[in-house]
Amino acid sequence: MDVYVKIVETVAEKESVLSIRRDVFIRGLNIPKHIEIDENENNANYVLATVGETPVGTARWRKTDEGIKLERFAVLDGYRSMGVGRIMTEFIINQFSGNEHIYLNSQDTAIGFYEKLGFESVGPMFQEAGIQHQKMVYPKGE
């Protein structure tokens, strides 16, 4: 399966991103829309993964006071465990030089996914949007 990842540039691509997030987070995980679509919507960079012409995955990153925060990883149900999430994560990490502080807050069920990609847990679990989360960081220089 050929997966293509690109940085979102057009309104149509952003629509595809929102459609995947509605499916995965709002319908799939029952996350309220006002939490899923947050105040950072317009100051983040988005990626879109496609298989052929079909949009199947998305994620975003944004600069924070702490570093580069990765968020909103979502792959459509029928396309999971095929490497789409890995390809998107590697694509985003490759945007940076290796010296940035790259981090994320993982839902408890996704910790194993980020561990496979090299992220390491830091600090205790915490609750966000009614879901247990774990802060994870990507080692510098890898």
Ligand X SMILES: CC(C)(COP(=O)(O)OP(=O)(O)OC[C@H]1O[C@@H](n2cnc3c(N)ncnc32)[C@H](O)[C@@H]1OP(=O)(O)O)[C@@H](O)C(=O)NCCC(=O)NCCS
Per DSSP, what are the bridge partners of residue 136?
Answer: 104, 121
Taking the C-alpha atoms of residue 81 and residue 21, their distance in angstroms, rounded to an integer, is 17
Closer CB to ligand X, residue 99 or residue 142? 142
In the complex, the smallest distance separating the C-beta of residue 74 from ligand X, rounded to whole angstroms, is 4
Q: Does 107 bind ligand X (CB under 6 A)?
A: yes
> Of all helices (H) and strands (E), which one includes residue 119?
none
Judging by beta carbons within 10 Å of its beta carbon (0-12, 13-18, 19+), is residue 20 exposed, middle or buried?
A: buried
Q: Which residues between 31 and 70 bind ligand X (CB under 6 A)?
A: none
Taking the C-alpha atoms of residue 59 and residue 64, their distance in angstroms, rounded to an integer, is 16
Other residues' Cβ atoms within 10 Å of the Cβ of residue 58 = 27
In the complex, the smallest distance separating the C-beta of residue 66 from ligand X, rounded to whole angstroms, is 17
From candidates 14, 22, 83, 121, binder to ligand X by CB under 6 A: 83
Closer CB to ligand X, residue 3 or residue 97? 3
Residue range at the interface with ligand X (CB under 6 A); choices 11-19, 35-43, 84-92, 118-126:
84-92
Where does this chain bind ligand X (CB under 6 A)? 24, 73-75, 80-86, 106-107, 109-110, 112-113, 116
